Amino acid sequence: MKEFPVLETDRLRLRQLMARDIDRIVQYANNPKIEEMTLNMPFPYGEKDAVSWLATAHEGFSEERHYVFGICSLQTDKVMGGIGLKVNKRFNRAELGFWLGEPFWSKGYITEGVEAVLEFGFNELELNKIFAFHMVKNPASGKVMTKNGMVKEAELVEHIRKGEEYIDVVQYRLTRKEFNRMDR
């Protein structure tokens, strides 16, 4: 894939993150609630973090191992968060991850974005499986996965470490066979 894909839904444009997005990324990611509910986002979150994330995303795309989309309003094209797939080519699967700025919570944006990314993963990347984790203390992410047909696969006790605390996570999956059986 030479050009970064753009995915559109009824309300969203999922597109490549650009340097012009850095201020908005910092504005929304620099939130302790975001750090608390995600596996890899620090707090405080500053410009260096955003620049590093963009560099990693661009490098990952060029190597066809990471597809990171900015979640943008279809009307304004302004970034509200991020969503992506980290591809493991050997096993033909990818890990789904996402975050969204707090002003946009509880509006169905992540559910809509996940649907588009799942379709991209199965139809364009021809993956066999997409999986995702959420922390037990963040059941809203689990609801997003369930609404998109993902199946709870496991609850992993003390699976990750954040600071000095060990956190339980829940893993969800969707296989190509399950995706193809879904009514969309």
**Cα-based angle 124, 125, 131 (whole degrees, multiple of 5):** 120
Q: In this structure, which topology does domain 7-181 adopt according to CATH?
A: Aminopeptidase (3.40.630)
Query: CB 180: neighbour CB atoms within 10 A?
Result: 9
The per-residue pLDDT for 175 is 98
Average pLDDT over residues 51-62: 96
pTM of the model: 0.96
* d(C-alpha 17, C-alpha 57), whole Å: 8
What is the residue extent of each domain of the chain? Answer: 7-181
Give me 182's structure tokens: 């879904």
Residue 50 has pLDDT above 90, yes or no: yes
Residue 59 is predicted with a pLDDT of 96
CB 79 within 8 A of CB 24: yes
Quote the CA–CA distance of 174 and 118 in Å, as a whole number: 9
Cβ-based neighbours of 168, under 8 Å, separated by 6 or more: 135, 136, 155, 156, 157, 158, 159
- What is the average pLDDT value for the chain, to the nearest integer? 96
pLDDT of residue 111: 98
Q: Average the pLDDT over 27-42 and give the result.
A: 93
